[in-house]
A and B are shown apart, each in its own frame.
Chain A
Amino acid sequence: MLSVEALEWLDGLQPAMWMIPAGIVVALLGVWMVVAAVLRSPRRTLPLRADTRVQAARGAVEVLTKDTAVQHPGVVKAEATARRKSVVVRVWTDGDPAVADEIRGWVDERLRRLADAHDVRIVVRTVAAKP
C-alpha cells in the first residue's frame, strides 16, 4: 500500500543533498500560493464611461487596438495586450519612423471611452525588406 511505503521511506530519513533544491522549489511554490491568496484578483474587465455599468473585457480592448494599428499603411502586423492601466501595442513596420506616434494617437482616440486613463505603449519592430 502506498501510504505504508511512504511512511517506511520517511522513517529513518537523514539530511541529504537533494533536500536543498527540493526545499527551494517547494518554498517558492508556497510563496507563489501565499502571494496569489493575498493579492487582489486581476481585473478581467475595464470600465467604460457610462451611467450604467458597462465594461469592456480585455479581449475586446485588444481586438479594437490591434484593428486600429493594422489600419496604418506602414504596419505589416500588430498585436495588443490590455492591462489595468495600459495598453501595449507591438507593431511590425516597414521602417516608417512616424508609425509609433501616429498609432498612439489613433489608439488614444479609439479607446477614449475607457473610464480610466490608459497609457498607450508602442513597441516597434522593423521588418527586413525582401531583396
Chain B
Amino acid sequence: MSWAAAAAERIAVLVVGLVLVALGAAAAAWQQGWLPDVADRLDVQTAVEWTGESWWPWAVGGAGVVLVILGLLWVAAHARLRTVGRMRLDGSGRSGRLTVDGSALMSPVVLDLEATPGVRDASGRVLSERKESVIELRVKVDPGADLDEVADATERASVQLGRLLRADPASDAGVTFRAVLTGGGSRSKMSRVR
C-alpha cells in the first residue's frame, strides 16, 4: 500500500468515525431533549419530492457507481502485488538498461539459508515500495531453532545479496534490505538431545 493510499485511508476512517460520533451523540441528545433549538420532527419533505424527479434514479445510480469504484480502489490498494520480476541496476542509462532477474538473484542465497539448522523454508523477493527497491527475505523458523544461529545466517544472506548488488544492507541507500523470521509450524522437526 502506498503512503498516499494509507494516508487517505486513515483520513477517511477518521472522518467517518467523527461523523458517527456526532450522529450517535445527536440521536441520544435529541431523544433526551437536550437540543432545545432543534425541531422535534425531522423534515426531509424536499428530498422526498426529489425522488419523483426524472433525474433521481440517475443520481442514485451515479452515487452507487462512485461508491463501487471507491470500494474497488480500496481493495486494490490493499491487494496490489508489489513484487518486481526484474530489478533495475545502477549503470542503466541511455545506452542500455541493466537488470537482474529477481528469482535468479535470490535462489543461491535462499538455498544457503535453507541449509541452516532450524530453517524450515526460505524465500526472497524484490519489491517496489514507494518507488524504491526492497529486497525481502522471509525465513520460516522451526520451533526448536537457535535464534542466534538463524539470525546470523539471515544476516549473512543479506550481506551476500548486498555484495551481489554492490549495495550496503546496513543502510537504505539505493536498495532497502529487509529480513523477516516467521514461525514455521507448532512442533519442532529438529532432533534434540535431552
Contact = CB atoms under 8 A, between A and B. Distances in A.
B183 A34 contact: no
Interface string A14-52: 111101101111111111111111100000010011111
A57 B181 contact: yes
B39 to A, nearest CB: 10
A59 interface: yes
Nearest to A32: B17
Nearest to B59: A3
B24 A28 contact: yes
Given A23-B25, A27-B28, A50-B155, A55 B147 contact: no
The size bracket of the interface on B is 35 or more
A21 B47 CA distance: 27
Contacts of B159: 52
A101 interface: no
Chain A binding surface, main DSSP class: helix
A30 B181 contact: no
A124 interface: no
A60 B32 CA distance: 52
A95 B50 CA distance: 74
Interface stretch (B8-16, B78-86, B91-99): B8-16
Interface string A47-82: 011111111110111111011000000000000000
A53 B159 CA distance: 11
Nearest to B21: A30
A48 B182 CA distance: 13
Contact of A7 (B31, B48, B182): B48
Given A11-B44, A54-B151, A66-B186, A33 B143 contact: no
B31 A17 contact: yes
Interface stretch (B101-109, B125-133, B172-180): B172-180
A111 interface: yes
Contacts of A23: 23-29, 31
A19 B181 CA distance: 50
13 contacts: A3-B56, A7-B51, A11-B42, A19-B31, A20-B31, A23-B31, A30-B18, A30-B19, A37-B13, A59-B182, A59-B183, A60-B182, A67-B143
9 closest A-B pairs by CB: A27-B24, A30-B20, A33-B17, A26-B24, A23-B28, A30-B21, A23-B27, A59-B183, A67-B143
